[in-house]
Amino acid sequence: MHFTYLNPTNPATFKDRYVTKVAETIVPFSKERKGEVGLIGLPSSKSSISLSMAANAPSTIRKALNSFSTYAATQKHDFKNEGIVDFGDVPIHPTSVIETLDRLHISIQEMLQTDACDRYIMLGGDHGISFPSIHAFQKKYGTIGVIQWDAHHDVRNLEDGGRTNGTPFRSLLEEGIIKGEHLVQVGIRNYSNAQAYDQYAHDKGIHVYMMEDIEEHGILPIIDKELERLSNEVDFLYLSVDMDSVDQAHAPGCPAIGPGGFTSRELLSSIKKAAQHPKTKAMDIVEIDPSQDVRDMTSRLAAHVMMKFMYKV
C-alpha cells in the first residue's frame, strides 16, 4: 500500500535538495569501505571522579552533525564527497573500569588494523579514554607527540582512585608510552590543579602553557611553535581535546566547567592549525556531559571541532 504522507520509521525532517548535512556523509564501516576519516565512539564515563554522563556524548555529537552543512564558503568548497567511516560505539563493561579500558584499547587496535582511513576521531567519554586510545596509536604508528587542550594536567596519582579521568597522561608517562617532552598542554588554568601535579609536569619535561601564556602570546603562535618542534622529534601527532579547556560561557556542558578558558573561536582556530599539519593522525574529544548542556551548545562546538579536523583543503 502506498501512503501519501506517512513515512514509517523515518523522522519528519525537511530536506533541501541543494544542502548536504555533515551527518549524511557518515557511512558504517564495512571491509570494502574506505574513507578519509574514521570515527569511533568510546562511551565510557564510569572512571570520572565527578558525577558525569559523558558516556552519552558520542551519540549527541553525532546528532549535532545534522545541524551543519558540508559547504565551506571561505574555501568555496563542498566537502560532501569526503566520507566519514563510522566504526560505531564500543560496548563498555557495566562494572569494571579496567575491563572497559581493555575493550577500548582492543577496539581501537582493531580499527587501525583495517587501514580503512587516513585519520581518526575518537569521541569520548571522559578523559580516561585517552590512555587506551593513545597507547593503541603508539603501537601502530611509533613515537607519538600529543597536544592536549585542557584546564587540568590530568596527571593525578594512581593510588587514591586507580585509573580515572584525572590520570590518563600520568598513565601514559609511567608506562613509557609517551615522553614528557612530547606532551604539550595548552590552556591550563589557575585554581584547577594541585601544586604536586604542577611540579610533576615540570619534572617530566611537559611543555605547559597556562592561560596567561595564551593571553600574552596568542594560541596560534604557540601551536605553530610546538608543531615545528614536535614534527622534528616524533613520527605522528595526536590531538586530545578536553572541552573543559573552553570557558564555561562557550561550553556549559562539561562536568568541570569554569571561567577563564578558551573562547570557541580560539579553540577552533587552534584545532584547524594543528589538524593541517601533515603528521597529525588522530584526535579525541572528551568531557561533554549532555545532561548538563544548554541547547547542545557544547556538543555543537564539538561537532565544529570535528569539522576543523576533517575538512582540509
154 is in an annotated binding site: yes
150 is in an annotated binding site: yes
DSSP secondary structure, 216-263, as one string: HH-HHHHHHHHHHHHHTT-SEEEEEEEGGGB-TTT-TT-TT--SS-B-
| Residue matched to cell numbers 604539550 | 184
115 is in an annotated binding site: no
> Where do the H-state alpha helices sit in the chain?
57-64, 97-113, 130-141, 168-174, 195-203, 211-217, 219-231, 264-275, 297-310
160 is in an annotated binding site: no
User: Are 229 and 182 a contacting pair, CB within 8 Å?
Assistant: no
Cell of 307: 569539522
250 is in an annotated binding site: no
242 is in an annotated binding site: yes
* Nearest-angstrom CA–CA distance, 281 and 121: 9
- Give binding residues as ranges: 127, 150, 152, 154, 242, 244
- Give binding residues for Mn(2+) as ranges: 127, 150, 152, 154, 242, 244
